[in-house]
Structure formats: structure tokens, C-alpha cells
Structure 1
């Protein structure tokens, strides 16, 4: 066995052991070392860069590492095998998807305004902002030698009197603490309960002087990024907010690679642990610390994610999703509790899952469709969620059609050499002077934060600026020369946005022709899906009255730039609305409002799912859209002008 040591720019090293000939990336994955591998280790993305400090690796030279970098110790973990004891350094950019779990500052009005707006939209739509959780106070006679009724029966009678309901359910977690709480409070207590038409479920019992907080957890499980809230279920107040990279990403950037990984021995458990134990539970712990509450005070959760993410979180076999006829294990389920998946909240907490529609249109879209309100408007509206999968819904209060396209992880920084999620160090806005070809950009983070890479909104801006300045042609190839434009020995061009001395990483932040080509295919998938869906309905883009764009790709998308590169149809810009992470706000609505939860199920039932792979014209539309802005430039008159 060989000793393998992983060192980091910050934090303690990880020491593990491997057999000779074992791939370094697989060693890292088994040891929970955060190395980004969006391509699932097939050497196509070049993101699993590590630096050899000592020892020896059997490693191939790839196009992602120059000869000079190779001489300086740089290797790709996916093509390097262990030959003996070895020590490697994992740079910050290699683990950017996991680094900097962010707990938001809720003192900022902008952090909470979108959720206040969501509550208003829900109530304006006639949905009552009320759920079944309550805090009730009960008072009982203390037992005596003449009154030997057991504690649980005494509590049952008191709860029946307080609620008027006959059936009272007391779980083991409450029964265990009941004797102490009752005697401490002289048989008076506060009870956290769920009250339905048929029964009362007793979640918790607290002394009279204790502060009763009815906490709820809201989660959006994105393929790349996970976002979460802790809220007060009685008031709707947001107590804490956090985001982090999805720990599953080291098994591949897309759902197909993760499904394949889950089919290997122990795969279901590895994928489930990556999202529950490595991602969600640490986020919950950090948020509870920020909110100054116990994780056991979280009594309900609402979770939205695509169909694959929901299956993998539950440890359910997702392989049928990728194989014809593409059948999931469930669209809707109400049978999941925190203890079933080892989620670190109250063990009896019921988990509400946003319902799925098809194999590739999941709960993130139904939750998003709810808060986009297209189901409640007469206007023909288009809803687009930009993530690792591009998912769309079109319709109005009379009908809705949905579909999904494999956009790849480009919108969240995957498949892009300098791409990263929208966290500290990511360039989220960029312009380029057409004369000097010099960039100006804005970086996420505190003032003075140096750029590490580009998030989705920044990539859109850079490509649009390069095309507008006639620095690249419609195929994304560089056609001008300058200080920031260079070519490697293979002739591949690139544009340097931040040189190494300006950047916060170990190399230049640059976008290459391969990156641009990957992004062109991603935006082409979105536009061709829009066209195909409209053609299926015998409509065209002129019939779109409103467009709602969602996704956590940055602080917002420059819609003009998105039209410039041919990602969105060329319609008046005032029709576009960026609504942020609608999957998260939709799950938030489902948690707070039983009526909104039921409406989401209704929206899912009434939405027609279009499988694009069965539409013969889709591939033709996709190929035509893989240019800037399109092969048919007459479809983009504002860009031509």
C-alpha cells in the first residue's frame, strides 16, 4: 500500500492509502477530498489539476497541461496513477465547487426581499399563507396516589381538549422527554404540533419558559449548487440562508454520469452520503448556529430538485431514468421523513418533495412554475430554468407544456476551463472595450476580492462582448490579435480576462475557443428547445408575451447579451424577467402554505411533458443554433443591427 497525502492552500492535509496503479482521482473520491471532475474523469475538462510535491505519479501529458506546467509538477488527477508514496497539493480552483460554503447576511434587504415578494404573490393568487404547524399550551392536574394516570394519557387528554380532535399521536422522541418536561413545568407545557382534519401529531414538548421555535428547512438541490433556508414556519421569517457546492459533483457534472456511478458497488450509498452527510448536514449545522436554534427544532422540510437529484438523495435506483422508456420510481411521494435519509433535523420531520413531471423535468421546475405564476396568468409565458439541465415550461392559465434539454453544466461553470459556480472570486459581469480589447469586470465577494474564474452570467457577458467587438466569428474562433489574445501550439486561441498577477488563482483566468464552443452548444440547446416546443404547439416566438428566467448562475443575467449570443429569442427586452432561484422560493412557498403545496401538485398534474428526443426536428434545430447568434441571422434582427 502507498501513502497518499493531499495538501490544501487552507486547512489540514488528508492522508490516506492506495494500491499501486490506482487512479489518483478515485483515491481522492474515496477519501472525500474535494477535487472537481465535471467530466467524470475522462480527461476532457482539465479541472482536476493537482501539483506533485513529492513522490511519483504515472501521469499522461494532456492538452490541458503545458510542458512548462508539467515540469513544474502539474498533473491531472484523472490520468495519474499511484506508483508509491506520494504528496500532492490541491489548488483552490480544483476544489472551487466545494469551497466557501456561504451563510448569507440576512441584514441585507436584498437577501430577503425576493421571499417577501414570493409571499405576496402567493396571497395575491388566492392561496392562504398557512400551514398545519402550531404551538399550543396545555395544563394538567399533577398526578397523586389517587390519580395514577400515566403521563402520555394525561397529555393526550390535554391535547384533545386544546384542539378538539380525538386522535393524538405521540412519537418516541416526545415520549422519551415527557416525564422530565412535565415535572419541571408542574404539568404545564408548550407543545409543537401538526394539526390536520383527522389528527394531531405531537412533534415536541417544551417547558413553559422555553422559547418555542417552529423551524422549517427549505432546500434546492441543484446538480452543481445546493441552496437552503431555515425559516420560522409560523411567521415565514427567514432565520438563516446558505449555499454550497453539491458534493456529488466529484462523481460527474451531469446526472447521467452520477447515475452510472450509482450503479457501481456501494454507489447508491456514496451518492446519498455525498448530498446528505457531506453537503446538507454541514449546511444545516452552520445555519442553525447562525439562527441560534437547535437542529431538533426543525420539524418539517421542503425539498426541490430535478428527478435524478431527488432519487439519489433518497437512495433510490435512478438507472431507469436514463434508459428507455425513462420511468422514474415516483413523481410524487408523501412518505419521506428525516430519519429515513439521516437528515440532521428532528427525526420525525416530514419531508415535502416538490413533484416531478418526467424523467428530466423535476420538482425544481414545478416549484419554479408555481412562483413564476404562469399558471395564474392569461398571457402566453415562457419559464426557463438555467442549470445543468435546461428546463422550460410554456403556457398560461389554460394549459402548460414542459420539456428539458441537456445543456450540460456550462451555465454553472462546468465544461469551462475557468468556470466556477457563483461564489466568492467568480466574475459575474464583464464588458470589453472594442477598440483596446481590454476587459472591465465585477467579482463576487468583498471589495478587493481577486478573480478566480467565471460563473454563468460572466461567461454570457464575455462571449457576447467578444462577438460584439468582432474578436470572434460566429463559430467562436478568434479573428483578431492583441495583448490578451494568444494561441497554443495546437493553434487554439484564448482571451485572457485576468493575468495571473491580477488573479486570485495559480494561473491566468482565460476563456478558450474550446470553452466558447462548449458554451455555444449549451446556449444552442436552450434556444433549440424553445423553438421545438413552440413548433410542437404550432406557435412561434412572436407569441411569447412574457419570459421568466430562473437559475443561480449569478446575480442576474444581462438579457441583451443572452439575446446577442442567440440563447434567448430576439423579442423586446422588457418582456424578460430574472426571478432568481425559483426552485428555492417555490419550495419555501410549499413549506409555509399548505394551499401552495396542493397547488404545486395540481400544476404538476396539469403540465404536459414533451420528450424532445422523440421530436424529429429537434436535432436540426440544435445544429442550426450552434453559431453566434444562429445560422439564420434574420431571427436576430437586433443583433444584426
Structure 2
């Protein structure tokens, strides 16, 4: 046995014991030490870099570690074996998604502004934010020797009289507290109920004078990032908001690697624990603390996630999703409760899941389509959700078609050497001086925050600016030299945005030719999917009237830069609208509005799913897109080439 010490830049350290010869990345996983491994330990992404400090570690050199870096002690955790007691440092860039949970008390109008437009559109579409959770006050006569009716029957009769509904269900969690609550409140109660047409479900009971907040939770479970809001179910107020990395990411950045991991012994439990115990429950606890409510006061959840995330969340076998004929266990279900998966909220909290419509187009897209409103307008509109997968919906009030493309994790920082999700320390916007090649960038976080990496919107800007300034060629190769251009022993170039002494990390913040190539493939997947879907409908790009772009890849995307690199169609920039995290906004609408929930089910049923892999022209389109901006310059007439 050997002791392995993991040190983090913030001073935290974790020491664990492991067997000699154990893989360092596996040791970290077993010890709940989170190291980013988008390729799930296949040594193909180079993101699990750690710095060897002292001890014994057998680690071969890979193409992701330069000679200089190797001499400095940098190693890939996935190709390193423990040979004795060892100490390594895990840099922020390898663990940034791990601990940078952002929680806000959203009491100010500015903090909730991103939801206001969605709420307005939902209500204008005749989907009022009304749901079936209510607070009902009842008063009963205390029992006596002449009136020996049991407590539960006394409450049932009072609720029958108050609601006019005969079937009343009082679950065990409520019955346990009923005797004490009745007697401490002189048989006058406030009941939190879910009222349907023919039955009433009693979630909880409180004394007549207690202050109540009936909480709800809307969650967007992304492959890379998880975001959530706690709301007041009675008046719709947003009480707190949080975002953090999906704990499953250490098992792979994409859904295929995670499905493969889930098929291993104990894998399904590990994946479920990573999202429930390590991600959702800490988020819920922190949000409820910020909102000054108990976690037990969350009585309903609305969850939007892709098809794989939904299966892994519920601990359901997802392996059939990756094998022909790609059949999920479910598209739509409303039979889950919080206690089923050990979510630390009220045990009887009902889980509403946005319905999936295909193996790779899930509830995050149906929820996002709801708030995009393309289904409620005559214009031909395109909805694009940028994430680990790129998902698209095209149509109007008459029809809708959807498809998904494997863009990879680049839009959320994966496959990029200094990539990270949109959190503190991420460069989210950038311009470059064409003469001096000096950058000017905006960083997420407090004033004075130092850069530690690039998030999706920042990557788009940097590549667009490098191309505009003719620092890189249309193939993404560096064609100029200067102080900020580095080249390795093989002539491969990189552009340094912040040197080590300027950054908040232990390395230069830079973008390499390999990074640019990875991103060109990601943007190519998006544009080729758009072109292929339009061709199947006998449409062309000029017929797109509105484009709604969603995804939590920064505070917003510079649409013109996205056009300039060939990611989005070359149509007037005023046709583009960034609508933020539409999956979370849609989950919020489903949580609060029974009509909105039904509308999402209707949208899922009426949407045609296009499987791009079966389209013969898709790969030709994709290859043509792997260029800046495109091999066919006529598709981008406004872009200087």
C-alpha cells in the first residue's frame, strides 16, 4: 500500500491509501478527488494534468506533455501508476468545475431579469403560471370522549369539505407529524396539497400560525454543467439560483463514455451518486440556505436534461441508447418521486421530467423549445442549444423538426487545453489588436479576477479574432510570429492570452493549434447539421427568419464572431437572439404552470426527429465545414477572407 496526497491550489489537500500499481486517475475517482477527464482516462484529451511534487510515480510521456512540461513535473493522471508514497498538485484548470459552485440569493430584480422575458412570453401564449399546489386552511373540533374519530379521518373530512373532492391521500411522511401538529395548533392546520380534478395529495401539515414557503426546484442537468433555481410555488418568486459542474464529468465529457462507465460493475450506482449525492444535494442545500428555507420545503421538482442524463439520474440502464436501434427505457414519465433517488428534499416531492423525443434529443430541448416560442409564431425560426451535444429545432407554428450533432465538449471548455466552463476566472470575451497582437479580454468574476482559462464564448471570440487579424490561416494554423506566439519543437503554434505571471493558474493561458482544430470540428458539426436539416426540408439558409441561441457558455455570444468563423449562417446579425439557459427557463415554466407542462408534452409529440447519421450527405457537409469560415466562401459573403 502507498499514501497518495492530492494538493489543490487553494491549499486544500486530500491523502488516501491505495495499492501499488493503481492508476492515479482511478485512485482520485475512488477517493472522490475530482480531476477533469473528458476522455474518461483514454489519454486522448490531455485534460487530467497534475504536477508531480515528490515521491514515486510511474508515468509515461504523452503527446499532451511537452519536454519542458515533463521536466517541470507535469503528468497525465490517466497514464500514471502509483509506485510508492507520492504527492501531486491538481491545478485549478483540472478541477475548476469541481468546487466553484455559484449560489445567489435572487431577491433583486436584476438577478431574475433573465427569467422575466420567458415568463412574459409564456403568459402571453395563454400558459398562465398557475399550478395545482395550494395552501388550504382547515379547522376541526378537538376530539372528546363523545367524538373519538382518529386524527387522519378528522383531517380527511375537513379537506373534503374545503376542496369538494372526496379522495384525499395522506402519505406516511405527513401522518407521522400529524398528531403533534394537530395538538400544538389546537386542531387548526395549514395543509400543503396538490389538487387534481379527482384527488388531493397532502404533502405536509403545519400549525395555523406558522410562516410557510412552498418551495419548488427547477433543474437543468447538462452533461457538463448543472444549473437550478429554487422558487416559491405560490407566487413564482425565484428565491435562489446555483450552478456547478456535473460530478459525472470525471467519468467522461460525453454521454457515450459515461454510458460505457455505467455498464461496468457498480458503474450505474457511481454515475447516479455523482449527480445526486455529489452535485444536486449539495446544490439544494446551499440554495435553500441562501433562500432561508428548509430543504424539506421543496415539494416539487422539474428536471430538464438530455436522454442519457435522465437515465443516469434515475439509475436506469442507458446502454441501449448507444446501440442500434438506440431505444431508451422511456421518453416521458411522471411516476418518479424524490425518495426514489434519495434527493434531500421532501420525500414525497413529485419529479416532473421534460419529455425526450429521441436518443440524443432530450428534455432539455423540449423545455428550451417551449421558451423559444418558435412553435407559437409564423416565421421560420431556428433554435440552437450549444452544449456537449449541439441540438437544433427548426420550424414554426405549423411544423417542427429536430436533430442532434456530436459537437463534443468544446463549447463548454472540454477538448481545449485551457478550456473551462463559464465560471469565475474564465475569459468570456476577447478582442485582439491586429498590429501588436495584444489581447484585451473580459473575465467572469469579481473585479481583479485573474484568468485561468477560456469558456465557450471566449473561445469563439479568440478564434474569430485570430482569424480576423490573420494570425491563423483558414485551416487554423499560425501564420504570424510575435511575443504571444509560441511554437513547440515540432513547429506547432499557440497564442498566449495570459502568461503565467499574469494568470490565476500555474501555467500560461493559451490556445493551441490542436485546440483550434478541435473547435473547428465542433463549429463544423453545428453548421453542417443546420445545412443538412434544411436540405431535407428543401429549404435554404436565406429562408431562416429568426435564430434563438441557448446554452450556458458565457454571459452571451458575439453572434457576428460566430458567423465569421462559420459556426452560424451568414444572415443579418439582428436576426439572432441569445436566450440564455433555455432548458432551465423551460423547467421553471413547467414547474409553475400546469398548462406549460402539458404544452411541452404536446411539443415533444409533434416534433419530427431527424437522425443525422442516416443522412447520406451529412459527412460531406461536415468535412466542408472544417475550415474558417467554410470551404464554400459563397455561403459567407459578408465575411472577409
Q: Same fold (TM over 0.5)?
A: yes
Which residue number in structure 2 is paired with residue 334 of structure 1? 334
Which residue number in structure 2 is paired with residue 487 of structure 1? 487
Runs of 4+ more than 4 Å apart: none
Which residue number in structure 1 is paired with residue 109 of structure 2? 109
Which residue number in structure 2 is paired with residue 464 of structure 1? 464
8 Å Cα contact 2:333-2:353 kept in structure 1 = yes
- Is 2:540 the counterpart of 1:545? no
Structure 2: distance between partners of 1:98 and 1:558: 27
Which residue number in structure 2 is paired with residue 368 of structure 1? 368
8 Å Cα contact 2:107-2:238 kept in structure 1 = no
Structure 2: distance between partners of 1:554 and 1:540: 30
Structure 2: distance between partners of 1:309 and 1:593: 24
Structure 2: distance between partners of 1:158 and 1:307: 43
Structure 1: distance between partners of 2:186 and 2:105: 40
Which residue number in structure 2 is paired with residue 64 of structure 1? 64
Further displaced range: 204-213 or 577-586: 204-213
Which residue number in structure 2 is paired with residue 79 of structure 1? 79
Structure 1: distance between partners of 2:360 and 2:482: 43
Q: SS of the counterpart of 1:588?
A: helix
Shift of 1:45: 1.8
Q: How does 1:189-204 map to 2 (within 5 A)?
A: 189-204=189-204
- RMSD of aligned Cα (Å): 0.9
8 Å Cα contact 1:431-1:462 kept in structure 2 = yes
Shift of 1:17: 2.0
Q: How does 1:248-397 map to 2 (within 5 A)?
A: 248-397=248-397
Structure 1 residue ranges without an equivalent (≥5) = none
Which residue number in structure 2 is paired with residue 473 of structure 1? 473
Shift of 1:94: 1.2
Shift of 1:360: 0.2
8 Å Cα contact 1:633-1:640 kept in structure 2 = no
Shift of 1:432: 0.4
Further displaced range: 82-91 or 604-613: 82-91
Q: How does 1:234-253 map to 2 (within 5 A)?
A: 234-253=234-253
8 Å Cα contact 1:476-1:517 kept in structure 2 = yes
Shift of 1:11: 5.5
Q: SS of the counterpart of 2:529?
A: helix
Structure 1: distance between partners of 2:537 and 2:523: 22
Which residue number in structure 2 is paired with residue 21 of structure 1? 21
Structure 2: distance between partners of 1:585 and 1:12: 35
Structure 1: distance between partners of 2:99 and 2:293: 25
8 Å Cα contact 2:302-2:590 kept in structure 1 = yes
Q: How does 1:203-222 map to 2 (within 5 A)?
A: 203-222=203-222
Q: SS of the counterpart of 1:623?
A: helix
Deviations 1:569-589 (A, max 9, x none): 000111000000000000000
How has the CA–CA distance of structure 1 residues 523 and 110 changed in structure 2, closer, same or farther, with 3 Å as cutoff? Answer: farther
Q: How does 1:181-192 map to 2 (within 5 A)?
A: 181-192=181-192
Q: SS of the counterpart of 2:336?
A: coil
Structure 2 residue ranges without an equivalent (≥5) = none
Q: When the two structures are superposed, what TM-score results if normalisation uses the length of structure 2?
A: 0.99
Q: How does 1:401-420 map to 2 (within 5 A)?
A: 401-420=401-420
Q: Number of residue pairs matched?
A: 641
Structure 2: distance between partners of 1:93 and 1:119: 36
Shift of 1:351: 0.2
Which residue number in structure 1 is paired with residue 496 of structure 2? 496
Structure 1: distance between partners of 2:11 and 2:198: 52
Further displaced range: 484-493 or 66-75: 66-75
Which residue number in structure 2 is paired with residue 531 of structure 1? 531
Further displaced range: 57-66 or 177-186: 57-66
Structure 2: distance between partners of 1:400 and 1:628: 30
8 Å Cα contact 2:104-2:287 kept in structure 1 = no
Which residue number in structure 2 is paired with residue 42 of structure 1? 42
8 Å Cα contact 2:306-2:364 kept in structure 1 = yes
Shift of 1:105: 4.7
Q: SS of the counterpart of 1:179?
A: helix
Q: SS of the counterpart of 2:356?
A: coil
8 Å Cα contact 2:367-2:600 kept in structure 1 = yes
Structure 1: distance between partners of 2:213 and 2:199: 22
Q: SS of the counterpart of 2:99?
A: coil
- Is 2:218 the counterpart of 1:225? no
8 Å Cα contact 2:377-2:396 kept in structure 1 = yes
Q: SS of the counterpart of 2:6?
A: strand
Shift of 1:72: 2.7
Q: How does 1:150-169 map to 2 (within 5 A)?
A: 150-169=150-169
8 Å Cα contact 2:105-2:290 kept in structure 1 = no
Shift of 1:128: 2.2
Q: How does 1:419-438 map to 2 (within 5 A)?
A: 419-438=419-438
Deviations 1:425-473 (A, max 9, x none): 0000000011111100000000000000000000000000000001111
Shift of 1:67: 2.6
